Amino acid sequence: MTTSAEPFVLNIGPQHPSTHGVFRLRVVMDGEIIRDLDMIVGYLHRSMEKLAEERTYTQNIPFTDRADYLAAMTGNLGLAIAVERMTGVEAPDRAEYLRVIFAELQRIASHAMANGTLISDAGAWQTPLLYMFREREKILDLFEMTCGARLTTNYMRIGGVSFEPPAEFWPALQELMDEMPERTDEYASLLLDNEIFLARTRNVGIITPEDAINGSLSGPALRGSGVPWDLRKAEPYCVYDRFDFDVPVGTVGDVYDRFMVRMEEVKQSVRIIKQAVEQIPPGPHKNDIPLALRPEPGEIYSRVESPRGEIGFYLVSDGTPAPYRFHLRSPALINLTLLRELGVGSSLPDAVVTLGSIDIVLGEIDR
């Protein structure tokens, strides 16, 4: 006698339409195997891009805090650079170094969140996550002492940054940078020989280099597949061309490789910050610009390397103080587009770990 089971539909989330960062998967299961998968987004949609058309370019900076809220500094920087390129405004040399320092601190903090939650998705309890949050909290302390905020920083400005770091910032930063090599070694000793972690991440969620490129992936999701594309090297902005650092890449393109790329990028961010601290020149932290900046009519697309990949800003000016069109290229949304191909044919636990390795932020996806 034989038995057969009919496929059934499993809804994974959302818990409530107003929950912070809601994402829903509609999965067709055949036993323990996924046969189809739909991604449903939009629960956090706030019409940010339309609202931006009614505000000045400077007033739009806080919107970038609330897009990728785990990398607010990078979003701030991306918009500031886009407007500067559109208007011909230049930031002082010291401001460019401060931008790099804070962008790389933000990258470390974001990767700590990404890898910490991935480990939890793979079955670990809270200990590794809290270890990584230890360093993240110290970085948020540095943000707070400089601009008064920890998450939605609103720190970058068109023409520079909003505040000069206080005197106590520099010794605290140096202490953290001195600790980081020991901390990353500690993460490695906890995880990289753990057979459960290796079983859950190796050869799971493989993205080939061809699929990564054809899917327009960027960031660790792309570099984990062995493609050494990083805008800080390929199209240097700020003063990244003055620093010596490497672009870590994977070899297989699986969950493990994406995890390791983020681990190695933390080390490279520490290298960049140490060089920036040594080289930073004296001078003003910003240039004065008109309160209501009026770019000449035209359009621009500008991009920077966020912790999740290429975050781009497409701006259209009609000569008024507010953009005629404001569009954000979300790396998390584009990196997510391959999830169906990765999930179909796998087990549900593997699909959850694969999703975690892509490192999405719903504020940026829904906007």
Which of 121-125, 345-349, 351-355 has the lowest average pLDDT? 121-125
Domains of the chain: 45-366 (1.10.645.10)
Distance CA 257, CA 103 (A): 23
Closest CA to 310 of 221, 205, 209: 221
Share of the chain above pLDDT 70, in %: 96
* DSSP string computed for 64-110: HHTTSTTSHHHHHHHHHHHHHHHHT----HHHHHHHHHHHHHHHHHH
Distance CA 253, CA 200 (A): 14
pTM of the model: 0.91
Alpha helices in 215-307 (DSSP H): 220-223, 231-234, 255-279
Burial of 5 (0-12, 13-18, 19+ CB in 10 A): exposed
**Over the stretch 270-300, which tens digit does the pLDDT of each residue have?**
999 999 999 999 999 999 888 888 999 999 9
Decide if 189 contacts 183 (C-beta within 8 A). Answer: no
- Asked whether residue 143 carries a pLDDT value surpassing 90, the answer given is yes
The top-scoring range by mean pLDDT among 192-206, 254-268, 352-366 is: 254-268
Q: How far is CA 163 from CA 130, 157, 242, 258, in A?
A: 30, 9, 23, 35
Closest CA to 264 of 200, 209, 188: 188
- Asked whether residue 319 carries a pLDDT value surpassing 70, the answer given is yes
- The DSSP call for residue 241 is G
* Residue whose token pair is 């809290």: 130
Could you count the other beta carbons within 10 Å of the beta carbon of residue 332? 25
Confidence at residue 1, expressed as pLDDT on a 0 to 100 scale: 45
